[in-house]
Amino acid sequence: MNTDSAGAPRRIARYSAAVSTSELRKDIGRLLWVGFEGTELDDRLRDTLSAGDAGGVTLFARNLPKHGDETDVLALRRLNDELHEAGRASGEKLLISVDQEGGRVQRIKAPAKHYPPMLSVAPGSDEEALAAVRALGGTMGAELAQWGFDIDFAPVLDVHTNPANPIIGDRAFGEKPESAAKRALAFADGLQDAGILPCGKHFPGHGDTATDSHLALPRLDHDMGRLGEIELAPFVSGIAANIPMLMTAHVVFAALDATVPATLSKTVITGLLRDELGYEGVVISDDLDMRAIADNYGVGDAAIRAVHAGCDVLLLCRNLAHQEEARGALFEKARGDAAFRKRISGSAARVRRLSSLS
């Protein structure tokens, strides 16, 4: 039998390397949550999910089967069941998510209930108002659970402080950090009452930007005193309430890290969110296909930077080439960097724990 320099059988060494490569592929799959085109599960996506190369799927309006002018919710449930089944073939649980906030960000409209912008729901933060917001979250969550979803990318934890903000505005739950936090977390409780995992967004706060990060890279120049008092306060409350997921903002916060957006900043995600604020849940990037990232960083480089920064999950919601580029970049980086491999393993473990909650 052939042996290596230490006398161990070479075929055993090759087998161990193959196992390691397989485990790495599975772990990277937990980190990549993808979108797709069309209203049916095609062979490409089925193969991706069955192989464990994606840990989650996000549905958009483009993915919703229609019956006339309304969503065909029976067909939607069948689609989600097929997605879950394809994921189970990998031995892992697939998580299906959607942006269902109400107001202008409500992917599933009729026959779903009409939900107003959260800023206008039961104004105030007294006991009666919070009960109404929680009940609304429960109603929305019950619909999503009935249709086969696991996660709602809500609530918005940003504070509505800038009337000219083109992306947040009335999606926020309040104009003051304390009331916004109380109302948003009541809504999150309602989602969880119905069996849907909530995701607070967009850390460390997107409420005062004047630029839409779907189109360009926003920047905030507030000092740490202001950020701590306004932007960060609802997230601190969310962490204390054990919200299971937080989504990052593609925004440069000059007082925290003037060089890169929060999604790609180790100072922001690991230093502030993990170490200083003590968050132990899953951190998910906003979509890396958004122009704030795609126009300024290569997707492969952005994926590596985001994981290095401390993100556990990377959203890649549309571009198939970007999904493959991110997967390949993470694989190659991890194969040559033991510390980065450990980061991926830790994130994959967090995602698996999250899966057990849904």
CATH number reported for the structural domain that contains residue 214 in this entry: 3.20.20.300
Distance of CA 320 to the CA centre of its chain: 18
Instruction: Report pLDDT for 122.
Output: 84
Residues annotated as catalytic are 214, 286
Residue 36 placed within a domain: no
Instruction: Report pLDDT for 91.
Output: 97
Rounded CA Rg of the chain: 21
Total structural domains in the chain? Answer: 1
Of residues 173, 53, 188, the one with CA closest to residue 125: 173
Helical (H) or strand (E) element with 235: helix 233-240
Residue 304 placed within a domain: yes
Measured between alpha carbons, how far is 228 from 122 in angstroms, rounded to an integer?
A: 27
The two beta strands, 66-67 and 245-248, are: unpaired
Domain limits for position 270: 199-358
Residues forming a β-bridge with 33: 56, 315
Q: Which two tokens stand for residue 161?
A: 């402080």
pLDDT 10s per residue in the chain (358 long)?
A: 333 434 333 333 333 444 489 999 999 999 999 999 999 999 999 999 999 999 999 999 999 999 999 999 999 999 999 999 999 999 999 999 999 999 999 999 999 999 999 999 988 889 999 999 999 999 999 999 999 999 999 999 999 999 988 899 999 999 999 999 999 999 999 999 999 999 999 999 999 987 767 777 889 999 999 999 999 999 999 999 999 999 999 999 999 999 999 999 999 999 999 999 999 999 999 999 998 898 889 899 999 999 999 999 999 999 999 999 999 999 999 999 999 999 999 999 999 999 999 8
Q: Which two tokens stand for residue 277?
A: 């604020």
pTM score above 0.85: yes
Residue 116 placed within a domain: no
Task: Please report the sign of the dihedral spanned by the C-alpha atoms of residue 27, residue 300, residue 150, residue 157.
Answer: positive
Residue 71 placed within a domain: no
Residue 315 placed within a domain: yes
Instruction: Report pLDDT for 125.
Output: 84
Helix residue spans in 98-232 (DSSP H) = 127-146, 177-193, 224-226
Helical (H) or strand (E) element with 299: helix 299-309
The two beta strands, 105-106 and 100-102, are: antiparallel
Residue 122 placed within a domain: no
Measured between alpha carbons, how far is 331 from 271 in angstroms, rounded to an integer?
A: 25
3-class DSSP assignment, residue 338: helix
Residue 321 placed within a domain: yes
Residue 140 placed within a domain: no
Residue 283 and residue 271 in contact, taking contact as beta carbons nearer than 8 Å: no
| Other CB atoms within 10 A of residue 126 CB | 10
Measured between alpha carbons, how far is 38 from 274 in angstroms, rounded to an integer?
A: 37
